[in-house]
Chains A and B, each alone.
Chain A
Amino acid sequence: MLCVEVDAKGDLARALGASASSFQPKVVQPNVSVLGLHAEESLQEYLRIYFKVPRFTRLTPLAKVFEFIATGLPGTSDMLVIGKIAYEAKRTDGGRPVWDLIIVDSAATGHVLPQLGAARAMMDLARGGIVRSQVEWIDAILSDPRRSLLTICALPEEMPVSEALDLHDRVKAETTIGLGACFLNRVFPVGVTARQLHALEELCAEPHLDAARERLGGDPRPVLEGDRLAQRLHDTGAAHARRLRAGMSVPVVEIPLQTTARPGLSTTRAVAAALRAASS
């Protein structure tokens, strides 16, 4: 499996227990590799494969031209990102696909549609040449729901849920890309009812507070403050999950909030376990 991060900041590599990603796929876990995309390197690789242009140093005038094309021309970097992913999807070794599955950590919600639509946009611009045939096969890979699916991630808050629903509707209306699932991340996992909260409120009031402190070995009032917030987070999360389910044509999978000390492999494993539990 290949995990791809489109901005090469290294967050995905760190989540998989590696220090950083690079443009060359790096094995980070058994059967899991990670790749960080750079538009400039994608262009260099493209030219090397299709035009036998040798790798050049950053100091040459030609390098400056390609750096400009990769990073300066609007849309080129989107095209290079999508093109590299499609190339990896197509790559074979001994007649077998190199990767069984490619998972892409895509651009932010507002950027993802134009990125996914870059091949279509390029098809409108380029009517001939190599690029035309290449964007056609890129578009074919993206448009085939047996090969590519878009999953939508959201947080249990008003705006991210609105954005997720908006993205869902636009993907269906404006693209040929299939939708797989919606992941609702960081759902507060423990609900507290008003009745349960009431018992704690009573315990925190006179004449019970001193006895409660002694029996519990600590102050119950911060617990009450936390539980009030927990109730709000849980209830609004549940409402958002209902809203998502009502508006989505694909399954909505809830992933509980993780409280590990810092993000990394342990958090990733916990999320993976939650996903396994949700799908079983």
Chain B
Amino acid sequence: MSSRSPAGIVEQLGGLEVVVCAGSGGVGKTTVSAALGLAMVAELDRRVLVLTVDPARRLATALGLGRMGAEPVPVPAARLRKAGIQPKGEMVAAMLDMKSAWDLMVERHSPTRESAERILANRFYQGISNAFVGSQDWMAMETLYELHAGREYDTVVIDTPPSRNALDFLEAPNRLSDFVGARLLSWLAGPSRLGWRAINVAAAPFARMADRLIGAEVLGELAAFVREIQGLYGGVQERAAEVYDLLRSPQTGFVVVTTLEPEPFAEAEFFCARLRDYRMPLRAVAVNRVLPTALGDPSGAAAATALVEDREVAAWMSAELGEQVRPETARRLGEAHLILHRLAERQDRQLSRLGSLGRVPVVRLPLAEREVVDIEGLAQLVGWFRDGTG
């Protein structure tokens, strides 16, 4: 890991067109994305869109907005000033609307208006677009591409979907292309023209199995659906290539977000390695919820241990301070510190492994003095992006 100070990281990331914040679930990606967006508009005259795809609507709460939807919502400058940020730029927030994103994709890539309408009316399509979240990563990439292509924003910061596998969205464009292309399912699209009996010899056992599985009537409907979505193939394949080009572009940067807890850190290591495999540019690592270094101080631990173990210490404190200090008070003061000291020691071991993530700037975001639940909380973090201080 570079010893470079994170000073200048806001300018570096804010100069990009797309910033992808990635990491495993629960590390505070949404908070970091929103704080990074705020840091950008505080420092730069840029129009920054922060797009969250989190269905729990975390960003909406954190930004003090009501209900976000598909339409981007500007964060009022007066609201930022109230939180102590003098914005040079403009911040806009948006949330992925899955259903709209699917419908737009179909309309965009269908060869004809009629074909789009048939797909939109198909119950398989409605089931897929309404009920299943396996498609969330796909739509996040589609929406990111559209927002970038629209050129309304200087920088789009995207908070990746909540997932146990942070890699899912990297695979998303290809999976979407495979899904609608699905040459392997051509056998399924064929029978309505030739009849099931005419299906080729190689596919026949598979077709019989599918027939037994879901029934002839549904199979016919599914075939019609597959036939229609194959019409999307050209457009979607082209789009997948464009999305990968965008993600590999010098105008794009990945920020891997992690905490120093062992599991998310291990996932961050894996993710950084895969970014290298994909030739996608890692620009920074944001380590969230870092404990103050003072907590690891052995001298403090020695004092805390004495507060817990020295049976005479409360009496000594009473005499020294001229007021009664109960043994329970001394014990609690020591115990509470020692819990945090043990966590700080564990954290220090992880910090020594930061180099495994890559030679990029590291932004350390402290465990905030107050919980980050509103724009004031986010504002606390802005200074840590700007110059590594609160």
Contact = CB atoms under 8 A, between A and B. Distances in A.
27 contacts: A7-B165, A9-B267, A72-B178, A73-B179, A74-B134, A74-B138, A108-B26, A110-B133, A121-B131, A127-B215, A128-B216, A131-B213, A155-B26, A162-B56, A190-B339, A192-B336, A203-B320, A208-B320, A212-B303, A212-B320, A213-B303, A215-B313, A220-B303, A222-B297, A222-B337, A226-B304, A231-B336
Contact of A159 (B61, B262, B329, B332): B61
B294 A126 contact: no
Contacts of B333: 192, 196-197, 199-200, 223, 227
Contacts of B62: 159
Interface in A39-78: 47, 51, 53, 61-62, 64-65, 68, 71-78
B218 interface: yes
Given A222-B295, A259-B339, A262-B346, A217 B306 contact: yes
Interface string B353-390: 00000000000000101111100000000000000000
Nearest to B326: A196
B182 interface: yes
Chain A's interface size range is 35 or more
A226 B303 contact: no
A108 B332 contact: no
B55 A226 contact: no
B277 interface: no
B336 A230 contact: yes
Contacts of A200: 333
**Taking chain A's interface residues, is the majority helix, strand, or loop, or is none over half, making it mixed?**
helix
B218 to A, nearest CB: 6
Chain B's interface size range is 35 or more
Nearest to B59: A159
B371 A107 contact: no
Contact of B303 (A6, A129, A217, A236): A217
Interface in A119-133: 121, 124-132
Given A125-B127, A236-B371, A218 B217 contact: no
A127 B218 contact: yes
Nearest to B206: A65
Interface string A185-203: 0001111100111011011
Contact of B133 (A114, A159, A218, A263): A114
B337 A223 contact: yes
B340 A230 contact: yes
B332 A226 contact: no
B172 to A, nearest CB: 11
B337 A226 contact: yes
**Taking chain B's interface residues, is the majority helix, strand, or loop, or is none over half, making it mixed?**
helix
A216 B369 CA distance: 27
B263 interface: yes
B341 interface: yes
B332 A190 contact: yes
Given A62-B206, A217-B303, A108 B162 contact: yes
A125 B162 contact: no
Interface in A74-111: 74-78, 107-111
Contact of A226 (B124, B298, B336, B345): B336
Given A208-B321, A216-B307, A110 B302 contact: no
A218 B295 contact: no
Contacts of B373: 158-159
A246 B343 CA distance: 31
Contacts of B202: 61
A273 B185 CA distance: 52
Nearest to B296: A222
A223 B307 contact: yes
A202 B321 contact: yes
Nearest to A188: B339
A199 B323 contact: yes
Contacts of B191: none
A218 B135 contact: no
Contact of B263 (A6, A189, A263): A263
Contact of A157 (B131, B164, B371): B371
Nearest to B369: A232
Contacts of B313: 215-216
Interface string A142-153: 000000000000
A223 B133 CA distance: 47
A109 B164 contact: no
A221 interface: yes
Given A130-B214, A159-B30, A219-B303, 16 more contacts: A9-B165, A65-B206, A75-B135, A125-B127, A126-B214, A128-B214, A129-B214, A158-B372, A158-B373, A199-B317, A200-B333, A216-B307, A218-B305, A222-B299, A227-B336, A257-B339
A259 B341 CA distance: 9
Contacts of A78: 132-134
Given A9-B164, A230-B340, A128 B217 contact: yes
From B61, B130, B299, B343, residue with most partner A Cβ within 10 Å: B299
Contacts of B304: 218, 223, 226
Nearest to A76: B134
A259 B343 contact: yes
Nearest to B346: A261
A191 B339 CA distance: 11
A263 B262 contact: yes
Contacts of B335: 190
A212 B165 CA distance: 50
Nearest to A259: B342
A176 to B, nearest CB: 15
Interface string B270-298: 00000000000000000000011011011
Contacts of B216: 128
Contact of B161 (A11, A110, A162, A231): A110
B115 interface: no
B320 A131 contact: no
Contacts of B349: 261
A71 B340 CA distance: 43
A64 B213 CA distance: 19
A109 B162 contact: yes
